[in-house]
Structure 1
Amino acid sequence: MSTPASALPKGRQFNKLVSNPVLEDYSLRYAPSSFRTWSEFAVASTALGGIAYLADQAIGGSLAVQFGFANAFWGILAAALIIFLTGIPIAYYSAKYNVDVDLLTRGAGFGYLGSTITSIIYASFTFIFFALEGSIMAQAFEIYFGIPLPVGYALASLIIIPLVVFGMTLLSKLQVWTQPIWLTLLFAPLIAVLIGDHQALADWTSFAGKSTSGASFNPLLFGAAAGVALSLIAQIGEQADYLRFMPAQRKGHSWKWWLAVMLAGPGWVILGASKQLMGSLFASVAVANGTTLDKANEPIQMYISGFHYIFGHAGVALTVATFFVILSQIKINVTNAYSGSLSWSNFFSRTLHSHPGRVVWIFFNVGISLTLMEANMFSVLGKILGFYSNVAVAWIGAVVADLVINKPLLKLSPSYLEFKRAHLYNFNPVGFGAMVIASAISIMAFFGFFGAYAQAFSAFIALGVAFVLSPIIALATQGKYYISRDPHYHAGTHHDAVNCSVCGFEYEPADMACCPFHEGPICSLCCSLDSACHDVCKTESVAANGVPLNALPERCG
């Protein structure tokens, strides 16, 4: 029998990191309207500032070097189209219901514990790309300051931590203030190359890289290139971390809301794909200016060559290129560290019923990234991203299928997003099952079990299988595993703010559930952290202290 609520210590005590909303940023919660004080433009600008990374250039350069221009070009465009289309529903639901991608995944067919695996997938994205961006910064440190790479890796990691501790409050200011400088330095060398080198475009379109057939289109090389580029599909998760702070739509100004959501959500890939193409161009420019093929995918080498067209002096070009690389990497790695801290918070709160605070997981995420850097992951970039994309694409494919088919068309998934433990089954076979099956099939394809074409197009297989399986499983189960009990508080109802009966803090109703174990309202975080209740609220009979479930709404106000 469960421990009576009366025997529990009254009032959960959170440490100062968790109790401080400026540091914590509602990392495991719905973002309340009282905290969403930024304008649509400020949120969108912060979200777009978070994609100021040079990994796009590194990926584009790597694809051009490995597969040649034709295959890299079409692979990048194909991946960008898929990423844009899948990003639209995720961005909309995240901004409308003010939840991050983990909470969104819970309510989009994965269940309360089923989405923990996606937390790891997303956390992997953040620390893989933190390591990639940190490696790029360390390469700039080595060339300009003569700092050895292992020391540069540590330095590139440590300087991020104090910037990301203060969450959205500081990040919004950092991204907005640095945006004009960054945009100028991003496009100036491109314009200078196109004006100053009339041979650059011809060299680019004929660039074969290391491939003997890379100068012409090859479907196998195209599929492999698109698969690597598709690893960036999980970037929508980082965009959602900002989009959850989007203010509510205002009557007569809904166009501003939609424009901001589209730009900050799927719109990131327009700039992202442009930067990948820019990277492939700069790789060929760098090679034409004497850089070896092995170094041509390093952004610092690309921009030394690019800025040389502007300044004509090697020392000045190196200085400006180094400044640009460091600025870009700071702008993106604060986002990687921030988003990683949110994802790890979600994972450990559910598996260990403990939440020491988002700030603690910043150090954890950065530590994993530093380990990858020291292992020289940049040298095997394509292989890591090619493998990762299979799982990431399967996850996003299953989520999108639920949002665009199971909710509006089949109406088997709730029309709103339910993310609270008290109202969800631990596992929902619709999204979770579709993702696991799609991942298994695509990974087997990636390792060559189904032949060369399936290997090259494994990421596409992951997307197709997940997208088709999700509605099939929803129909087979008739949506039985979405909602474990009828919620009293959910995103579709309107109440005044409510005090949590466990921690005593006041939260908006969208973040609250009715708890029979504690005989009153409970916030989503206290609900997640409770290890004594044993999910008694989901039983069909009587609550732990003899309170009938149908009497709970009265006790919850």
Structure 2
Amino acid sequence: MSVEVRTEPDVADVQSDASIATKESLEDYTLRFAPRSYRTWGPGVVATSALGGIAYLADFSIGANIAMTHGTVNGLIGIAVAAGIIFLTGFPLAYYAARYNLDLDLITRGAGFGYHGSVITNVIFATFTFILFALEGAIMAQGLYLGLGIPHWLGYLISTVMIFPLVIYGMKILAKLQVATTPVWLVLMVVPVIYLVVSHPESVEAFFTYSGESGSGVSFASAMLAAGVCLSLIAQIAEQIDYLRFMPPRTEKNRRTWWAATILGGPGWVLFGATKQILGMFLAVYLVSTVPGARAVANEPVQQFLVTFQQLMPAWLALVLAVVLVVISQVKINVTNAYSGSLAWTNAFTRVTRRYPGRLVFLAVNLSISLVLMEANMFDVLNGILSFYANLAMSWICVVAADIAINKHLLKLSPKRPEFRRGMLYDWNPVGIVSMGLSGGISIAIYFGAFGAAAQPFSPLFAVGIALVATPLMAVITQGRYYLRRTDDGIDLPMYDEDGNPSSKTLRCCVTGMDFERPDMIASAKPGPDGEKQYLSSLALATDRTGEHVLPKE
């Protein structure tokens, strides 16, 4: 396949952008389908890497705040409701990511939003990554202050700067980091809590009878307020998917392990998250009940584990291990936050401008925003931020989940197999955009009291309900007309192999001169110098500012 030499400045720029983007993204497949040649990890390694990203200790702070505000029973109900919703909505997304090797942005494009429409959801997700990064960085700074006396402002800076070099090289380094640190993290987190329960059985009774600030009993409104805080973490599935897209092909031989890894590393993250929230509730109640004046710091994980470790060992060793646990946990999650956030920002910017500035540029942007939030002491308003954000995150995730489960598989109005390539999709699809606008807009209005105080605690449930109803309704109204701009991508080779996995056959890209696997390729609208058909990668097409390669609408 020959490469045509062009002298127009715009075309040269396009080739340069495409080549730079392609070479840089070979390590993490930014904006792209993850090819089979790169996916050399087994299902277990991928799942372990994905679960390594949920080592964050914000769950302990969330659980502590819930317990102290709403009481134990209301908190447990809220956590259970949130976990159920997160698992059910996360399952179809995780399956599509693992089966078709796409990140959530690529899935969102063909699941009701369109090629440009998913830029909106990219910004929502990028916001999630820097909010969570800031929360986790603040927790690390608390540990550094307690253990080493480092001022909080300097701790925020250290917890931000140390992440940058760990994220530069993408999935290969992240997988090794997550697998290597997970056993130590599990031992430090689980063993002391078990010992505390066994050695102080009275703490369990105190936990279940704790009624929080209100001092009242079971309240459905309080439980739903607690659920709203937990549901803000629904966007975590997008970070799980950034790992799950590297799952190996599913075959008859690995079918069981493939499904187990997909479920555990995908929606299964919430089982671990909910457990950590409950542990955070338990440790906070224990601190408040046994340590005078502990209420002010009971939502700080380093304080929770310091007191727990002190039941087992000398105070100096307890302090060392508490700080070590905090640092390991925060590094594990914040490399994921930084990695996923940089992908989201880069993806959105490239589609809007047709330019690829490099993922490291947006890695720096994401970390800078996080640092500003930390210095602004956002940890003190944790519950309020997460409760508000939950409405946006749930609207997006639930719309995509509804499109996959209902529109694709039940109504069959949405293409069953995902599509993400420019030219194959309409730029904007009203199914997802209108549904998310209704779900997010109405639930936020409810959150701020526009429909009365009685409805206010239930805004996240309204976000779920509206998304699940509006998404299929919009598909029926539009009859699925705005999903596919084309059904033929101009390539005769089959897209999938005999097992239904994306094909590993390769084609030469006429822009970069490199070979790419079949699912990442599309025919060019411009023939070669001898009139032959040319092909180019989805990433090269994304940076085509001239539009000369985009296939016409069918």
| Equivalent position amino acid for 2:183 in 1 | P
1:290 deviates by: 2.8
Q: Residue 117 in 1 paired to residue 151 in 2?
A: no
Is this contact kept in 2: 1:416–1:492, CA < 8 A? Answer: no
Q: Name the structure 2 match of 1:148.
A: 151
- Hey, what's the Cα distance between the residues in 2 that align with 1:445 and 1:501? 52
AA aligned opposite 1:470: T
Deviations 1:320-367 (A, max 9, x none): 101100111001100110111111111101112111222221111111
Deviations 1:420-453 (A, max 9, x none): 1120101111112101111000000000011223
In structure 1, how many angstroms separate the alpha carbons of the residues matched to 2:178 and 2:57? 15
d(CA) in 1 for partners of 2:130, 2:385:
12
State the match for 2:539 in structure 1: 525
- Alignment-derived partner of residue 394 in structure 2: 393
Does 2:134 correspond to 1:128?
no
In the alignment, the residues of structure 1 paired with residue 14 and residue 155 of structure 2 have an alpha-carbon distance, to the nearest angstrom, of 46
Q: Are the counterparts in 1 of residues 423 and 553 from structure 2 also a CA contact under 8 Å? A: no
Shift of the alpha carbon at 1:527? 1.1
Deviations 1:455-499 (A, max 9, x none): 101011011101111111101111000000123258447573111
**Letter paired with 2:538:** S
Partner of 1:423, secondary structure, is coil
- The TM-score, its normalising length taken from structure 2, stands at 0.93
SS of equivalent to 1:293: helix
| Alignment of 1:293 onto 2:295 | yes
**Matching residue's letter, 2:380:** S
Q: What corresponds to 2:107 in structure 1?
A: 104
Tell whether 2:40 aligns with 1:31. Answer: no
Equivalent position of 2:252 in the other structure:
251
384-393 or 447-456, larger mean C-alpha shift: 447-456
Q: Which moved more, 1:223-232 or 1:502-511?
A: 502-511
Q: Does 1:310 align with 2:319?
A: no
- The residue that corresponds to 1:158 in the other structure is 161
- Aligned counterparts of 2:14 and 2:549: Cα–Cα separation in 1: 19
Q: 1:535 to 1:503 in 2, by over 3 A?
A: closer
Cα offsets for 1:2-44 (capped at 9, x unmatched)? xx98843397124997444677411110000000011111101
Most deviating of 446-455 and 378-387? 446-455
Kindly report which structure 2 residues correspond to 1:486-525, keeping only aligned pairs within 5 A, or say none: 486-488=487-489, 489=491, 491-492=495-496, 494=503, 496-517=505-526, 520-525=534-539
> Taking structure 1 as reference, are residues 120 and 190 closer, same or farther at Cα in structure 2, changes over 3 Å only?
same
TM-score normalised to structure 1 length: 0.93
Q: CA deviation at 1:539?
A: 3.7
C-alpha displacement of 1:256:
0.9
Deviations 1:119-142 (A, max 9, x none): 011111111000000000000111
1:385-438 Cα shifts (integer Å, max 9, x gaps): 000000100101100111101111111111100001120101111112101111
Q: CA distance change for structure 1 residues 63 and 17 in 2, over 3 Å: closer, same or farther?
A: farther
Checking the alignment, whether the CA contact within 8 Å between 1:412 and 1:478 is kept in structure 2 is yes
The offset of 1:209, in angstroms, is: 2.9
- Specify the code of the residue in structure 2 equivalent to 1:182: W
Structure 1 residue 430 corresponds to structure 2 residue 431: yes
Q: Tell me: CA distance 1:16–1:521, structure 2 relative to 1, closer, same or farther (3 Å).
A: closer
Number of aligned residues: 534
State how far apart, in whole Å, the 2-side matches of 1:74 and 1:120 are: 31
Question: Are the equivalent residues in 2 in contact too, given 1:390–1:462 (CA < 8 A)?
Answer: yes
1:61 to 61, 64, 67: 64
- Greater Cα shift, 13-22 or 135-144: 13-22
CA distance in 2, matches of 1:151, 1:487: 55
Of 209, 213, 228, the residue aligned with 1:206 is 209
Paired residue type of 2:517: E
Instruction: Specify the SS of the correspondent of 2:294.
Output: coil
Which structure 2 residues correspond to residues 400-439 of structure 1 after superposition, within 5 A? 400-439=401-440
Tell me, in whole angstroms, the C-alpha distance in 2 between the residues paired with 1:17 and 1:294.
51
The answer for the alignment partner of 2:376 in structure 1 is 375
User: Would the aligned equivalents of 1:11 and 1:503 in 2 still touch at CA under 8 Å?
Assistant: no
Would the aligned equivalents of 1:417 and 1:491 in 2 still touch at CA under 8 Å? no
Shift of 1:534: 7.4
Question: Are 1:497 and 1:507, in contact at CA under 8 Å, matched by a contact in 2?
Answer: yes
1:223-253 deviation digits (Å, cap 9, x = unpaired): 1110010001100000000000000012232
Contact 2:100 2:245 survives alignment (8 Å): yes
CA contact under 8 A between 1:161 and 1:362: conserved in structure 2? yes
1:175 to 174, 178, 201: 178
State which drifts further: 272-281 or 194-203: 194-203
Report the alpha carbon displacement of residue 535 of structure 1 after superposing the two structures with TM: 8.2
Looking at structure 2, the residues matched to 110 and 441 of structure 1 have their Cα atoms a distance apart, in angstroms, of 19
Structure 1 spans left out of the alignment, 5+ residues: 541-557
Tell me by how many angstroms 1:523 deviates: 0.9
Work out the CA distance in 1 between the residues paired with 2:461 and 2:429.
24
Instruction: Note if contact 1:220-1:452 (Cα within 8 Å) is conserved in structure 2.
Output: no
Tell me the CA shift for residue 179 of structure 1. Answer: 1.1
2:509 is aligned with what amino acid? C
Please report the RMSD computed on the Cα atoms of aligned residues, expressed in angstroms: 1.9
1:468 counterpart = 2:482: no
Taking a change above 3 Å as real, the CA distance of residues 514 and 495 of structure 1, as seen in their structure-2 partners, is farther
Equivalent residue letter for 1:69: T
**1:416–1:491 CA contact under 8 A, matched in 2:** no
